Amino acid sequence: MKKIETVSLIGLGAVGAAYGSKLHELLKDSFQVVASKDRIQRYENSGISVNGQNYHFHYSTPETRMDPVDLVIFSVKNDDLTQAIQDIQHHIGPDTIILSLLNGISSEDKIKSACESQHILYSVCVEIDAVRQQNETNSVRLAGLNLAKGIVLNQRMCWQYRIYLKEQESPTKFPRTFYIPCGGNSW
């Protein structure tokens, strides 16, 4: 299984900023946020604050052509998904893993039908406590989709999809999970 070394994220709301801060700490220059020129200007002027720590992410505009990354993360609102899919197309290749952090279970099908990659992970964020006001995200607690040591793949269990950091204590519990190393230091 290929090691995840490059990640692009689209959507810097509460969830995107929370996960973006962790990915930025882990991957440094190998992590970037895709945003419009106007948004990038605002973000660069003030940075993004997560629990009082200011982050200056690496940014890319939708028009920037580049090699596909190993992992693309969607963390936009559902109403913005169609535009986000168009905006991040230059980051997606046939081997790119795609993770949608949107509420519900329909975003993955919409992404899959529009993207070249067939590696779509069904997921939900569980026990996340993040509130975004302007450029500040506070009280961030990432208990569910905890990327402390990597990204986790999952199997489908009925309609609900969950991602966990490691396999459950009992291997017979569902959903069964699989670990993809992210490289770098743990967070």
- CATH number where 129 lies: 3.40.50.720
Residue 73 in 3-state DSSP?
A: strand
- Residue at 38 is within a domain: yes
- Ramachandran bin of 159, using left for φ above 0, alpha for ψ from -120 to 50, beta for the remaining angles: alpha
- Residue at 1 is within a domain: no
The pLDDT of residue 128 is 67
Question: Which domain, by its residues, includes 115?
Answer: 7-181
Please give the backbone phi and psi of residue 55, each rounded to the nearest 5 degrees, phi first: -115, 140
| Mean pLDDT confidence for 142-147 | 43
Number of structural domains the chain divides into? 1
- Residue at 146 is within a domain: yes
| Mean pLDDT confidence for 165-169 | 34
- Residue at 187 is within a domain: no
DSSP label at residue 160: B
The percent of residues in the chain predicted with pLDDT above 90, rounded, is 41
The pLDDT of residue 15 is 87
Residue 10 in 3-state DSSP?
A: strand
Among 8-17, 131-140, 154-163, name the most confident range: 8-17
Strands of 109-166 (E only): list them: 119-121, 131-133, 136-138, 150-154
- Residue at 186 is within a domain: no
The pLDDT of residue 50 is 86
DSSP label at residue 157: B
Residue 127: band (very low, low, confident or very high) from pLDDT cuts 50, 70, 90 = low
Please give the residue that has the higher pLDDT: either 148 or 29: 29
Closest to 32 (Cα-Cα) out of 2, 80, 3, 68: 68
> How crowded is residue 132: how many other Cβ atoms within 10 Å of its Cβ?
19
Q: What is the pLDDT of residues 1-53, one digit of tens each?
A: 578 899 999 999 888 988 898 899 999 999 999 999 999 999 999 888 888 89
The pLDDT of residue 109 is 86
- Residue at 71 is within a domain: yes
Q: Which residues pair with 100 in a beta bridge?
A: 74
Answer yes or no: is pLDDT of 150 > 70.
no
- Residue at 24 is within a domain: yes
| Contact by Cβ (8 Å): 65, 90 | yes
